[in-house]
């Protein structure tokens, strides 16, 4: 009997509190097929509700993060078909994941791959990584957040240049522009991202989730509204056992034992 093909997304649990999702279409440079997007969406929905998971690490492997959309499935379809695919519903569990998400990017993150990386809270990139929104070169435009998240990440001038020329930027440029949080040697990307995920997973989960929620909600809000969100979220955390444990451990000069509640 022929071997069962591996799924397009692999789930691993490399460390306590850390879930690793690995894009797994090497024959297609991890192009984001509808099957891959659906499976990735399912995994994020499940992991979001798993109290044992404190941080999610997303990677495409050592050579490429993701080459973008599956052009073969789009070339001959019309606008109604594209609209009715409602890929925004598949991406919603990633966009709204309450838990910290770290992306490990080696090689290129093009098109949908760049848009997927931007959904992460932190991006660890190797020095040879490249980020690109090349959709204009095939007569379309970014359609799953590229025009909106990119301008928020790198500013209008850089976002316009990337989207209007379709030309990639280097990992160094992405780091200087603020798209990338950590820039490391190529052979250190996976290890560095995993260590970052381990550190985050060891933190009090409620505090991590509140920090993420308030930062994202406050980005597009007036300063005073964001500050109000911050004050209330901070006050809420004083109802958690982890706040009591964290402060008592600090006073007693010992390592805290966070429970995630």
Q: What is the CATH number of the domain that holds 75?
A: 3.90.226.10
pLDDT of residue 16: 97
In the three-class reduction of DSSP (H, G, I as helix; E, B as strand; rest coil), residue 224 is classed as: helix
**228 and 164 both lie in a single domain:** no
d(CA 108, CA 174): 12
d(CA 46, CA 28): 26
**24 and 129 both lie in a single domain:** yes
**72 and 120 both lie in a single domain:** yes
- Distances in Å between the Cα of 223 and the Cα atoms of 148, 153, 156, 157, 229 are 20, 18, 20, 23, 10
**97 and 214 both lie in a single domain:** no
Residues in contact with 209: Cβ distance below 8 Å, sequence separation at least 6, in sequence order:
98, 99
Q: Is residue 28 part of a domain?
A: yes
**197 and 244 both lie in a single domain:** no
Of 132, 202, 194, nearest to 164 by C-alpha is 132
Q: Is residue 27 part of a domain?
A: yes
pLDDT of residue 85: 79
Q: Is residue 260 part of a domain?
A: no
Q: Is residue 220 part of a domain?
A: yes
**197 and 209 both lie in a single domain:** no
pLDDT of residue 78: 82
CATH number at residue 212: 1.10.12.10
**65 and 118 both lie in a single domain:** yes
**156 and 215 both lie in a single domain:** no
The domain in which residue 69 lies consists of 9-201
Q: Is residue 1 part of a domain?
A: no
**195 and 68 both lie in a single domain:** yes
Tell me the two tokens of residue 191: 């290890």
Looking at residue 6, the DSSP 8-state letter turns out to be P
Report the number of distinct structural domains present in the chain.
Answer: 2
Bridge partners for 122 per DSSP: 102
pLDDT of residue 77: 77
Q: Is residue 3 part of a domain?
A: no
d(CA 222, CA 64): 38
- Confirm if 83 and 104 have CB atoms less than 8 A apart: no
**83 and 155 both lie in a single domain:** yes
Per-residue confidence of the chain (261 residues) as pLDDT tens digits? 566 789 999 999 999 999 999 999 999 999 999 999 999 999 999 999 999 999 999 999 888 999 887 776 666 778 888 887 788 899 999 999 999 999 999 999 999 999 999 999 999 999 999 999 999 999 999 999 999 999 999 999 999 999 999 999 999 999 999 999 999 999 999 999 999 999 999 999 999 999 999 999 999 999 999 999 999 999 999 999 999 999 999 999 999 999 988
Residue recorded with tokens 């569990």: 93
- Distances in Å between the Cα of 97 and the Cα atoms of 49, 119, 223 are 9, 9, 24
pLDDT of residue 4: 76
CA 176 from chain centre, in angstroms, equals 19
Q: Is residue 180 part of a domain?
A: yes
**237 and 118 both lie in a single domain:** no
Can you give the length of the chain in residues? 261
Q: Is residue 2 part of a domain?
A: no
Residues in contact with 232: Cβ distance below 8 Å, sequence separation at least 6, in sequence order:
none
pLDDT of residue 2: 61
Q: CA angle, 16 as apex, 12 and 21 as ends, to 5°?
A: 25
**14 and 52 both lie in a single domain:** yes
């Amino acid at each position: 009997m022929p071997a069962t093909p591996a799924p397009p997304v692999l789930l691993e649990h490399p460390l306590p509190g850390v879930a690793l999702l690995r894009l797994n279409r090497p024959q297609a440079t991890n192009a984001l097929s509808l099957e891959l997007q659906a499976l990735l969406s399912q995994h994020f929905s499940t992991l979001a509700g798993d109290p044992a998971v404190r941080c999610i690490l997303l990677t495409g492997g050592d050579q490429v993060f993701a080459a973008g959309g599956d052009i073969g499935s789009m070339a001959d379809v019309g606008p109604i078909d594209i609209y009715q695919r409602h890929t925004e519903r598949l991406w919603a569990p990633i966009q709204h994941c309450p838990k910290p998400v770290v992306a490990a990017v080696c090689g290129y993150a093009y098109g949908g791959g760049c848009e997927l990386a931007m959904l992460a809270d932190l991006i660890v990139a190797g020095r040879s990584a490249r980020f690109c929104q090349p959709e204009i070169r095939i007569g379309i435009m970014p359609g799953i957040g590229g025009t909106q998240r990119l301008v928020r990440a790198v500013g209008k001038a850089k976002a316009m240049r990337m989207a209007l020329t379709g030309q990639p930027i280097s990992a160094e440029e992405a780091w200087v522009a603020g798209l990338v949080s950590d820039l490391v040697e190529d052979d250190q990307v996976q290890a560095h991202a995993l260590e970052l995920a381990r550190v985050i997973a060891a933190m009090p989960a409620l505090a991590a989730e509140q920090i993420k929620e308030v930062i994202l909600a406050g980005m597009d809000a007036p300063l005073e509204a964001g500050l109000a969100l911050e004050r209330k979220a901070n006050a809420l955390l004083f109802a958690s056992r982890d706040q009591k444990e964290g402060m008592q451990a600090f006073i007693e000069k010992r390592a805290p034992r966070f429970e995630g509640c």
